[in-house]
Structures are given as structure tokens and as C-alpha cells.
Structure 1
Amino acid sequence: MNDKKAQTRERILAAASAALLQRGPAEPSVGEVMGAAGLTVGGFYAHFESKDALMLEVFQQMLCQRRQRLAQLDQALPAHERRVLLAAFYLSRKHRDASEQGCPLPSSVGELARMPDGFRAVLAEHIELMTAQLAGSPEEADQALADIALMVGGLALARALGPGELSDRVLRAAKSAIV
């Protein structure tokens, strides 16, 4: 792929990432994504075979980036301490209010049952890998999985409520349940 085509593809991926984070994988249109990238719809199919293919690639890329950031936590810390540290960030006002750098799961999980199977496969792989990263032993895997569910659900609810006291309470309550 030549440099100009690669740069254009990256612009499309960046615009799709922002759209997915804000509105999930189903709702944004090709026209919206291409417009946000400063491009016309006509050039889309030179880069992707379909909108679903674009959104699946972006979804997978975003989840991979989240796991890479998680890997930066000190692996010498006990697993429960890593989960508490992750929860402190993940269930924060800053993360709740992040419009372009947050986790895509809260805006996406409700739609995944209606998306092509590839989305669920990517989600399942992500959850398995995250669980492994957050569990210090096989015995802790279920607790790590429960903590992931609590974090994603808590953040989804807090984002749905928007900034405010009840949303802040949801964040605090979810965070305090991860011990």
C-alpha cells in the first residue's frame, strides 16, 4: 500500500474510532465517517469492503490498544491491586467524560447481538485476554471477569446518566465493589 493510501486509510480509521466511541458500531454511516475524515463517500470502497468491515477493524484495534495500556500496569503487583488500579482510572469522571479516548465497550455492547458474528468473536477474545491479564491465577479468573463486567456496566450506566451526582455515585459504588 502506498503512503498516500495508507495515510487516507488511517484518517478513515481515526474518524471511525471517534464515531464508534460516541455512538457504537451500528449507527454511524459511511458518509458520516468519511465526512469526519475530510473525504468523500466515493473513496470508501477503495479501503474497506463494507461499513461493518471498517467498524470491526476499528473495534478490534481499539480493544487491542486498551489491553496494551493495561499491560503497562506493574505486573509485580498482586492481581487484585492491578484491578483496583484499573478501576480507579476506568470508573473515573475523566474516563466517563472522555469523548475521544475512552473504552468502546459501553457504547457498543448493547448493539453487538445485532452485529455480524465477527464482533462477538472479537469481544469474546478481548474479554478472555483481559481476564487473563487481570487474574493472578486461574482461581482469580472469575473475580477478574466479574470486575470487568462491573467496570463496563458501571461506566455504561454513568455515561448514560451524563455528568452529575447520580452518575458520580454510580462510578464510586462500582469502584468500591472492586476489592
Structure 2
Amino acid sequence: MRYRPEHKAEVHQKIVEDASRRVRAEGLNGAAVAAVMRDTGLTHGGFYKHFESKDDLLLESLSEAFRDIGDTLVRVAEQSPREAAWKAIVRAYLSLDFSDHPERGCPLPALAPELTRVGKKMRGQIFPQLVNYKDRLVPFMPGRRAAEKERAFFVIFSTMVGAIEIARMLPEPAMREKVLASVRDFLLSSF
């Protein structure tokens, strides 16, 4: 059976998207090659037609995760008045939806501890993705100058990542919402 020329690229993208969701939901080991390929309807052996190694899959899945959440947050910001864009980002990020569905959320709360333990080479390959994520969102942050906006980004995002990590540990939705609301209110009144 002959496939359309774009078939391989479409299958590759499906694999990356599934791995991206799995990595955010289950950690770096969640993107087990056999599971990802099974979810895509392919065999384990077909993996090497798309990737040279599992690290390549992980890097592409992380890139997809940062692109996905970046697109979501940029869209939220662009739909808000310019001066309120950063507040819209905070409200979206510190939501029960992002907390309760890590597979759709930011990869940082899900993976930060694991990413600090990956090898130096892989960390070096992840770093540009982090910089790109920051660069996409800094323009929406509070502040007049670029340095003020970047400082606000680091404070706001570090706080939000920690809040999501803590909220995800809590068993009850009401407890999670209390943490998220407290941090949301604090950030929105601090800048």
C-alpha cells in the first residue's frame, strides 16, 4: 500500500503530540517508546523510522509541549487589553484546568525536578526551548523596560510553577483551588 507523501510527517507529528501529552502527565519515563507507538497505532519497530533515539523523541516532545502552552498563553494574552495581558496569563495558568490536566499544561511544573537530573548534553538542548518560551511571554509581562518585563516574568512564572506543583499534590479540588486562588490574588495585586 502506498501512502501519500505527507503521511510520514503526519504520523511523526502524531507520535510527538502523544509523547508530549504523556511526558507532561507521567514524566520523562511516561514517553515509553512502546506505549507511544501503541497509542499511535504503530509497532515498536516503526519508531526508528521517525527518531534516532528516545532522547530525540523526548526533545521533540518537550519542544511540542513548550510550543503548545506558549501558543495557549499568547492567545489568552492577545485576547485581553494590552495592560491586562499578563493578568490573563496568570488567571489561565493558575486554573484548576491546568492543575488537574498536566497533559495540557506547562511542562515546567510537571518536569522541572526531572529536567535538572538529565544529562548535560540534553540540558543544553532543552535550554534554547526555555529561552524561546520566556521570549514569547516576556512582552506581555508588567513593566516599562525589557529588563523589568524579564524580571517580572521570572518572578511570576517561578511562583506559578511552584503553585501548580503544590496544588497537584493536594487530594481535594477545593484545596487545590484555595492554593491557586491565593497565589493568583497575590500576583495580581503585586505588580
- TM category, shorter: 0.7 to 0.9
Q: Please, what TM-score do these two structures have when normalized by structure 1? A: 0.86
Q: Does 1:154 align with 2:163?
A: yes
1:106 to 99, 106, 109: 109
Aligned to 2:60: 57
Aligned to 1:86: 89
Identical pairs, percent: 28
Aligned to 1:69: 72
Asked if the contact 1:26–1:111 (Cα under 8 Å) also holds between the matched residues in 2, the reply is: no
Q: Which one-letter code corresponds to 2:175 in the other structure? A: L
Q: Which runs of 5+ in 1 are unaligned?
A: none
Aligned pair in 2 of structure 1 residues 113, 100: CA closer, same or farther (>3 Å)? Answer: closer
Aligned to 1:12: 15
Q: Does 1:144 align with 2:175?
A: no
Alignment of 1:18-29 (within 5 A): 18-29=21-32
Higher helix share: 2
Cα distance in structure 1, aligned partners of 2:127 and 2:187: 26
Asked if the contact 1:62–1:104 (Cα under 8 Å) also holds between the matched residues in 2, the reply is: yes
Q: Does 1:120 align with 2:123?
A: no
Asked if the contact 1:97–1:163 (Cα under 8 Å) also holds between the matched residues in 2, the reply is: no
RMSD, aligned CA: 2.2
Cα distance in structure 2, aligned partners of 1:8 and 1:141: 37
Structure with higher RCO (Cα < 8 A, 6+ apart): 1
Asked if the contact 1:159–1:167 (Cα under 8 Å) also holds between the matched residues in 2, the reply is: yes
Q: Please, what TM-score do these two structures have when normalized by structure 2? A: 0.81
1:59-82 deviation per Cα after TM superposition (whole angstroms, max 9, x unaligned): 11221232233333237522xx22
Q: Following TM superposition, by how much is the alpha carbon of 1:97 offset from its aligned partner in structure 2, in angstroms? A: 1.6
Aligned to 1:45: 48
Aligned pair in 2 of structure 1 residues 3, 162: CA closer, same or farther (>3 Å)? Answer: farther
Aligned length, in residue pairs: 177
1:69-105 deviation per Cα after TM superposition (whole angstroms, max 9, x unaligned): 3333237522xx2222111111111221225422222
Cα distance in structure 2, aligned partners of 1:24 and 1:123: 17
Q: Does 1:171 align with 2:184?
A: no
Q: Which runs of 5+ in 2 are unaligned?
A: none
Moved over 4 A (4+): none
- Bigger CA drift: 130-139 or 19-28? 130-139
Asked if the contact 1:83–1:147 (Cα under 8 Å) also holds between the matched residues in 2, the reply is: no
